[in-house]
Structure 1
């Protein structure tokens, strides 16, 4: 049952990626919406779940929040290291793609794929608890996987990667929930470990949204419509979380 439900997440992820690539003539609106979706996923979905699942404190601070900060810093460090390596080799490819390092986009998309695997694991684990719990979790995952597909394609292509690579990462992200759901028939992930991962991933995603996606969206088109798309992205995730709850 869990694998069958995960196929819905597969289709929604592909739908999100298809939407992202079809509106390239309104790139600033796409980026504004993607930034809003990422911000909403972090603040309204990932971080609350991480705080609930991880539990415990480290020197007076919730472990999930420490990992959240660590994820933000890790994303920043990875981007700086990749940029420095690119500059050391002449920077031709970096200049070709407007100062952006393609590997950063692939790394970010890879993190999205990892997150989608965990979405599938969450579906499978919830169905092990009961049908009602499984249905609720599946609704949340399927609904926000549209945003995952949208963001995966956008992140990969934003950093100058070829369309073929962006589509490859999109397909990998779509397949990931199915793989994750199937894995629960053999492996059970401890709740604390899952919460820690969500906190780390949320920090990295926030860095990409705040330091890369949103500044790029407003760089050439500081229009009110771009800001409205960002707000709409956050609002959509809020609606999804509210319906799922």
Structure 2
């Protein structure tokens, strides 16, 4: 089931990359909705489940919450390292700029692999949990595909290389989900991982997707899409309870 659902992430990633070549004025609405879905999944479903599975306190703080903060900070650190490397290379050595684009795109592929593992891990908790996590992954994989193609092509790489990175990014979540069929994750470790993944997912929503959605179009329509995404997850969680 996890692998089948992960195919949705595969298709959404390809759709995001295809859209990157044909940007329209409605992209901000899609990103606004994706950010809302991610925020809803993290706050209303993923984090409560992680706390239930790995709520043992470590120096006064639940283990899942510590890893949640760790996931957020890790995502922030990776982004800052990539940004610093891009700035350093952009300062002069133009022959290395394409490599920077491929490095950043490869980081997106690694992130998508972990997305697939998160889907498989969530299905080990339960089908309802698996579907809600998959929904969050599928929602933000549009942005992943869009950004992977953009990063690869923006720094002077050929279209063929950009498409190759896009395809690798699309395959990654399916491969990640399939890998979880080979092993069963202990409950506490699963809760810890979901907490860490939730922190990283929240960072992507709060620091990348939502600012991008509202940057050029700070209108009410974008905000309504974001609120609608959160409300949809609340409804899904309520119906599944």
1:144 is displaced (CA, Å) by 5.0
Residues 77-156 of structure 1 mapped to structure 2, 5 A cutoff: 77-91=77-91, 103=103, 106-108=106-108, 110-123=110-123, 125=124, 135-137=127-129, 139-140=131-132, 144=136, 146-147=138-139, 149-156=141-148
Q: Which residue of 1 aligns with 2:189?
A: 193
1:101 is displaced (CA, Å) by 7.0
Change beyond 3 A, Cα 1:41–1:224: same
Separation of aligned partners in 1, 2:203 and 2:132: 23
1:56 is displaced (CA, Å) by 0.6
Specify every segment of 5 or more residues in structure 2 that has no aligned partner in the other structure, as ranges.
154-161
Q: Which residue of 1 aligns with 2:172?
A: 172
1:32 is displaced (CA, Å) by 0.9
Residues 146-169 of structure 1 show CA distances to partners (whole Å, capped at 9, x for unaligned) of: 425435424534656635423421
1:137 is displaced (CA, Å) by 4.9
Q: Which residue of 2 aligns with 1:235?
A: 231
Change beyond 3 A, Cα 1:155–1:12: same
Q: Which residue of 2 aligns with 1:37?
A: 37
Separation of aligned partners in 2, 1:90 and 1:197: 35
Give the alignment's Cα RMSD to 1 decimal: 3.1
Specify every segment of 5 or more residues in structure 1 that has no aligned partner in the other structure, as ranges.
127-132
The secondary structure found in structure 1 opposite 2:191 is helix
Contact kept in structure 1, 2:118 and 2:133, CA below 8 Å: no
> TM-score, normalised to structure 2's length?
0.77
Residues 171-196 of structure 1 show CA distances to partners (whole Å, capped at 9, x for unaligned) of: 2213432332x21xxx3321111111
Contact kept in structure 2, 1:37 and 1:234, CA below 8 Å: yes
Change beyond 3 A, Cα 1:43–1:107: farther
Separation of aligned partners in 2, 1:146 and 1:60: 35
Separation of aligned partners in 2, 1:207 and 1:142: 17
1:85 is displaced (CA, Å) by 2.0
1:104 is displaced (CA, Å) by 5.1
18-27 or 191-200, larger mean C-alpha shift: 18-27
The secondary structure found in structure 1 opposite 2:230 is helix
